[in-house]
Structure formats: C-alpha cells, structure tokens
Structure 1
C-alpha cells in the first residue's frame, strides 16, 4: 500500500531522518517505535505531507490502481487519496460542536454529502450523545475520540495515529485498543502508529519499525520485539 525508500529529511542544517525504508502492507497495523526525539513524528509528517523530504521516494498504491508518487501532493490531496491522520495535538475546533467538527472534516476532504454517516456514530457511540457539545467542553478522552472520528469520516484506506496513548486515561487506552483491533482485523483498515507504550504496541500491532537518532535500526514482526532489543534501543542511555 505504501512504500518508502531511502527517505531523508532535514530541519535546517540538521539531518533528522537517514535513509528510512518502510513498507506498509494492506490490512496490517505497523508501529513506529522509539524514544522521544528519534524521528517518529517527523516521519509521520513526511508521509502526510506536512514536512517535505530532502530525498528518497514515497509510493502509494491501492489494489487495482496504478502507483502514485506522494512527493508532489499536498496534505489535502493525500487525504483524498485515502490517508487519514490524527496528530498529537488533535486539531479540533474548540468553539464548534462535535457534529460541526465532523462536517468540516468532510468538507476539507472534498466530501459534499453534508451529513455525518451513521457508521461514524456507530464506531463512536458516545460522540452521538455529545454531538451538539462544543469541542472545548469535551474531556481529553472524548477530544481524542472526536479527532479520530474526524479522520474516519473520509473512509481512509490508511489511518495514521501519532502518539495515540499520550495524555488519555488508562480505561480509554484499553477502549482505543479494542477499536483499533476492530478497525484493523474486522474492517481491514491499514494502520500506522507512532507510539512508545510497549503493552499497547504488543496488543494492537502486527509489525514494528524501530527508530533511533533518525535511523531505522530494526523492523519485523511484533513478536521479535524482545527484551534484548528493548534494552538496547528503548532506554534513555542507549548509545548503540
């Protein structure tokens, strides 16, 4: 579905991503894992088009369609292709209602239906009861649900979540895990997470890509993410 080859990124003169290779297969859940500052969010922003890459390639291909080069496409165009995104800051409109936020997400993606699909409220039943409440009045857990629902209203083929467990409650993390498993394994949605909470990763992901200082140092099935690897790359004193 998405193939990254030799992706390099710079912030000014700082080389932040070094020759990243990543393959996202249709129907799998893949996790970008690593300590804070290792390049997870930067790589996500490169995929969504919010950061440019210096060199390399990003090729998008859906079943039955020709390959598409993502490089020249804007973030909005990538959304219309089928890439949904929930950033760390959620980016909801605090002065608008839940339903108005969802309608704006539809309009931004070029949808002209003017109504929120019942499927969205079926996925997020608590939002239906809150649909007239302003975003700023929601709890942190419900704000995340709304951000996720805004990404889902366009029926993405690939859903990207940046640090989804950050700042939400333990009970919501469990419900979020249930939802991602349903989306991935029952509906077949391809998912990419940038995350560092290992129990959550091991519960929901099929594959991992481990970043360290902007480099991809390991990848494979989640079962390969053993204690030796975690100790080597996921402790603050890691210097390998």
Structure 2
C-alpha cells in the first residue's frame, strides 16, 4: 500500500499541496479527481521523486520513499505514465519499450504480455514513436511503464486528447491489470464517466487538499461529479 502523510509543496511561494494525506489500497484501482490546477500532477511527481517534498512523508510497502531518486522508486516497484506521454518520437516503438526496462536487467525481447495487452504495439514495433496517433502513443507509454515489472502503476490523465475507442481499450486494460495481475493502480483523471466506471476507490482534490474520498461505488451518491465540474 502507498501511504502519503501531511505532504506540503510550494511553487514560487504558492502553496500547491496542503497537508495532503492519502492511502492507496493495494491491488485496487484508485482514482484521484479534481479541476485543473488543484495539485494532482504535482502530487504524482512528488510520489515519483520528480519534485522534492517540502514536508510530509511517503511510504510504499511500509518503506519510506523520502530521499529516494526517481530511478530508485521505479526499482522499488513504482511506474509512472506522465501527462502528455513523453515517448521518444525518433525511437521505434520497440526501442521505446526497451527504455522502460532500464531499472532492471534488460530483456532480450519484449515480453509477450505487453503485446498481448496492446496488440497495436506489436503491429507497429518498427515504426517511430512520433508516427503513432495520440491513442497509440498513450498505449506505448503504458506499455513502456509496464516493462519495469511494477507493482503499482501511476497514470496522469491518460484519456487526454485520446479518441473514444482507445479510451475504452485503455480502461479495459487497466481493469485487467488490477483484476488479473493484482497490480495497484493510481489514476489521475478529469473524465468523470471513465473514472467512475473503473474506480474501486476515489479521492477528490481541491486547492491543494484532499476534500473527499471513499468507495468508487459511492461516487454518484456523494456528488463527486459536481465537485470536479468547472
């Protein structure tokens, strides 16, 4: 389980994260919702060590992550798919995937499971990443993250700018990772319908704070849609 306790972060004097505390249950799919600019992406970057924490603590599997560099957190079992995907456009699909295995002994070939989850990547493995559509690039970014054999997958708005049919495929894949492979998933999302359909657990952020949380099945009854509407 991932435990976040009393996390604070600032940007140029602005208090971005305000005493954020959050527990992400193991082997479940948790969604973190909120309007733009409330600190969701900053929280993920703090979890991965991309952004330093001003105060507070993060523990993963009962071990503190404080002070660990991002590559050490990946080696500990965390994988991160950033907003915007950040694939390498001049590398082939296959080369992009191999980059994801940098934290462990590099495999000689792409595991069959990756191509089984994302068949389009096998069909396009020799094409450059920059030649893929946005939805295909998102699948590549997730596949690359899975190459590190994580126990927890963290995704920042994977539906952004993606065509509806690919959104559905991504949702089914995330559900499979949890239900069939026992993975823990933390998903930052603004697309309410996508989040509600997938969530085992939810949390809502506003102005840098967690203002609501609960079981995914209770999202509608708790008025979560209204909390995140502009």
- TM bucket normalised to smaller: over 0.9
1:208 CA drift (Å): 0.7
- Residue aligning to 2:178: 184
Q: Is the 8 A contact 1:86 1:151 kept in 2?
A: yes
Q: Is the 8 A contact 2:2 2:60 kept in 1?
A: yes
Tell me the TM-score normalized by structure 1: 0.92
Instruction: For structure 1, list consecutive stretches of 5 or more residues without a partner in the other structure.
Output: 62-66
Q: Is the 8 A contact 2:100 2:146 kept in 1?
A: no
Q: Does 1:145 align with 2:139?
A: yes
- Residue aligning to 1:64: none
1:104 CA drift (Å): 1.8
1:149 CA drift (Å): 0.3
Please list, as runs of the form range in 1=range in 2, the aligned pairs for 1:17-36 lying within 5 A after superposition: 17-36=17-36
Distance in 2 (alpha carbons) for counterparts of 1:130 and 1:224: 40
- Residue aligning to 1:87: 82
SS in 1 for 2:186: strand
Q: Which runs of 4+ in 1 moved over 3 A?
A: none
Q: C-alpha deviations, 1:58-86, integer Å up to 9, x for none?
A: 0111xxxxx32111101111011110111
- Residue aligning to 2:63: 68
1:222 CA drift (Å): 1.6
- Residue aligning to 2:162: 168
Distance in 1 (alpha carbons) for counterparts of 2:184 and 2:225: 29
SS in 1 for 2:101: helix
Q: Is the 8 A contact 2:192 2:225 kept in 1?
A: no
- Residue aligning to 2:218: 224
Q: 1:25 to 1:228 in 2, by over 3 A?
A: closer
Number of residues paired by the alignment?
230
Distance in 2 (alpha carbons) for counterparts of 1:54 and 1:162: 22
Q: Does 1:205 align with 2:199?
A: yes
- Residue aligning to 1:41: 41
Distance in 1 (alpha carbons) for counterparts of 2:229 and 2:222: 11
Distance in 1 (alpha carbons) for counterparts of 2:101 and 2:228: 38
1:231 CA drift (Å): 6.0
1:115 CA drift (Å): 2.2
1:228 CA drift (Å): 5.9
Q: C-alpha deviations, 1:177-199, integer Å up to 9, x for none?
A: 11111111111110000001111
Q: Does 1:119 align with 2:116?
A: no
- Residue aligning to 1:12: 12
Q: 1:36 to 1:217 in 2, by over 3 A?
A: same
Task: Give the root-mean-square deviation of aligned CA atoms.
Answer: 1.3
Distance in 2 (alpha carbons) for counterparts of 1:228 and 1:116: 43
1:19 CA drift (Å): 0.8
1:150 CA drift (Å): 0.3
Instruction: For structure 2, list consecutive stretches of 5 or more residues without a partner in the other structure.
Output: none
Distance in 2 (alpha carbons) for counterparts of 1:186 and 1:173: 20
Distance in 2 (alpha carbons) for counterparts of 1:119 and 1:34: 33
